[in-house]
Amino acid sequence: MGVRILAVGDVCGQPGLDYLEKHLKTYKKENDIAFAVVNGENANVVGITPRQADMIFRAGADVITLGNHTWTRTELQPYLDERTKILRPANFGPQCPGRGIAVYHTAFGDVCVLNLMGRFTLDSNTDNPFVIADGYMAEIQEKIILVDFHAEGTSEKRAMGFMLDGKASAVWGTHTHVQTSDACVLPKGTGYITDLGMTGAVHSVLGIDPEQSIGKFMGDPPRRYESAKGPSKLEGCVFEIDPETGRCLSAEGVRLQ
């Protein structure tokens, strides 16, 4: 029997933070979750503040991963250097604050978590995530390797999954906020899902108030995004991993509301 690891999709605004606070620890306990990685990319709707990161940790996250909005809140930069359990994409320039990969000691062994960001349509000045990932895989010694690939294109994410099949224990996509139905174990033993989905308002457009999103597409003047109101949800995936081999035994999408 393996250890159960939970990956949680992008936390969107206060609704997402509130849902985590109320439900994450209970879910972990009831479902024997040994380790939880939460993408906090949109905790402030766009970006994340140190206070919000602390809230996610208190809610039950073991590690926070980020993405293309990492630098939106400048007050986060010192926090990234100070805290080892929050990761920004490893393919940002080496002069950037923080780190994109780290090893965490647990009761079931060491866990390596790698955060990467795609380049298709994200218009970010990053190194090639495939080259970076390939280089790290040649160096990582830990059996359990988890990869959050924050990317837009489904083809880019699936290509990363297959490139890391048999090397990483689990690879999941974040960023699009829409959960995909392809949770699986790839042929060589890597757990995979193209996108975890999001944690935030149910009746929303990717966490945003629908009327505001419709207005944007109708041509309204730009304004600060606002979280939608109403009931919330948590989306993600549970990977059961053999701690002796690092191979994934099962992968199952999660949707709570």
Banded pLDDT at 1 (limits 50, 70, 90): confident
Residue-wise pLDDT tens digits, 208-240: 999 999 999 999 998 888 999 999 999 999 999
pLDDT at 187 over 90: yes
- Determine the Cα–Cα distance for residues 143 and 222; give it in Å rounded to an integer: 47
Banded pLDDT at 253 (limits 50, 70, 90): very high
Mean pLDDT of the residues in the chain: 96
Kindly give the residue spans of alpha helices, DSSP state H, lying in 46-128. Answer: 50-59, 76-82
- The number of folded domains in the chain is 1
Please give the residue range of the domain that contains residue 88.
Answer: 3-256
User: What is the token pair recorded at 43?
Assistant: 């905790």
Query: 3-class SS at 241?
Result: strand
- Determine the Cα–Cα distance for residues 37 and 126; give it in Å rounded to an integer: 23
pLDDT at 10 over 80: yes
User: What is the token pair recorded at 212?
Assistant: 């505001």
Residue-wise pLDDT tens digits, 155-181: 999 999 999 999 999 999 999 999 999
| pLDDT reported for residue 219 | 96
| pLDDT reported for residue 52 | 98
| pLDDT reported for residue 50 | 98
pLDDT at 2 over 80: yes
User: Looking at 23, 69, 175, 177, which residue is catalytic?
Assistant: 69
Portion of the chain with pLDDT greater than 70, in percent: 100
Examine the residue annotation and report whether 69 is marked as an active-site residue of this protein: yes
Q: In what order do the strands lie in the sheet with 170-174?
A: 101-106, 109-117, 144-150, 170-174, 191-193, 184-185
| pLDDT reported for residue 122 | 80
CATH label of the domain that carries residue 113:
3.60.21.10
* Rounded average pLDDT over 122-129: 86
